[in-house]
């Protein structure tokens, strides 16, 4: 009975409400930070440490389209290409990153992207021309081709880490541009990491990829001008 009276008195004089309010105010900033961080945690690609072995990681990359030549050379990377790969690794393999690798042939742009892909799970690699050819199957009279076309597009949209290579090799039709713009818009909206590779010089790259995509590279990931000497020399 005495305890009940004390509690009633505690509520009556306002001290209980005041202290509870102070406690809530102290907790709210922490809750806000946790809520704000939660979506990023959910979107970030799983790290490659989840693979049981390096062989499993390499098999995954090859099965997801990455060139065997580049997968086989992951342990042999060095020089300027490896420096850039390491410098941008955290950003590239996190969530919400659109990043452009541009420059002449040979400095290891695809190798850099393959290195980043080896650090995450659920990655995919497409040559831009091959992707567009597969997507055009949507208009095929063959039902299986149409089904595979839709699945290819869904894979490109939904994977956590996408590499789109040889962007400069596209014919440049309006359909290709519109389709790829829609793909990039979808991934940007879902905050999924996307790496674009082009052999176009940096001065011409904004016109090639489009000003909208270029601004998103600048906003979320960056532009790496691969202007060092070719490894093929």
Residue with tokens 């390096």: 54
For residue range 25-35, what is the model confidence (pLDDT) as tens digits?
A: 554 455 344 43
Q: What is the pTM of this model?
A: 0.76
CB atoms within 10 A of CB 104: 14
Q: Which of 136, 192, 190 is nearest to 164 (CA)?
A: 192
Counting every residue, how long is the chain? 233
Give me the residue label for tokens 């105010």.
Answer: 25
Taking alpha carbons only, the member of 103, 100, 71 closest to residue 88 is 100
Residue 7 pairs with which residues in a beta bridge? none
Over its length of 233 residues, how does the chain's per-residue pLDDT go in tens digits?
544 454 444 444 555 445 544 544 554 455 344 434 444 434 556 665 668 889 999 999 999 999 999 999 999 999 999 999 999 999 999 889 999 999 999 999 999 999 999 999 899 999 999 998 888 766 566 667 778 888 898 999 999 999 999 998 876 677 888 888 899 999 999 999 999 999 999 999 988 888 888 999 999 999 999 999 888 76
């Amino acid at each position: 009975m005495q305890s009940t009276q004390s509690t009633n008195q505690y509520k009556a004089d306002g001290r209980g409400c005041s202290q509870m309010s102070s406690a809530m105010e102290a907790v709210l900033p922490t809750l806000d930070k946790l809520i704000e961080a939660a979506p990023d945690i959910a979107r970030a690609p799983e790290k490659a440490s989840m693979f049981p072995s390096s062989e499993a990681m390499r098999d995954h990359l090859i099965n997801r389209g990455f060139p065997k030549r580049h997968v086989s050379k992951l342990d042999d990377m060095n020089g300027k290409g490896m420096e850039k790969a390491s410098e941008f690794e955290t950003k590239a393999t996190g969530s919400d990153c659109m990043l452009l690798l541009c420059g002449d042939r040979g400095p290891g742009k695809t190798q850099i992207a393959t290195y980043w892909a080896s650090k995450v799970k659920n990655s995919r690699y497409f040559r831009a021309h091959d992707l567009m050819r597969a997507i055009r199957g949507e208009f095929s009279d063959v039902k299986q081709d149409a089904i595979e076309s839709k699945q290819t597009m869904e894979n490109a949209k939904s994977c956590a880490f996408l590499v789109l290579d040889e962007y400069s090799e596209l014919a440049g039709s309006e359909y290709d541009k519109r389709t790829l713009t829609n793909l990039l818009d979808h991934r940007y909206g879902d905050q999924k990491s996307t790496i674009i590779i082009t052999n176009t010089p940096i001065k011409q790259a904004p016109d090639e990829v489009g000003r909208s995509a270029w601004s998103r590279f600048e906003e979320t990931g960056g532009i790496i001008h691969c202007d060092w000497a070719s490894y093929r020399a």
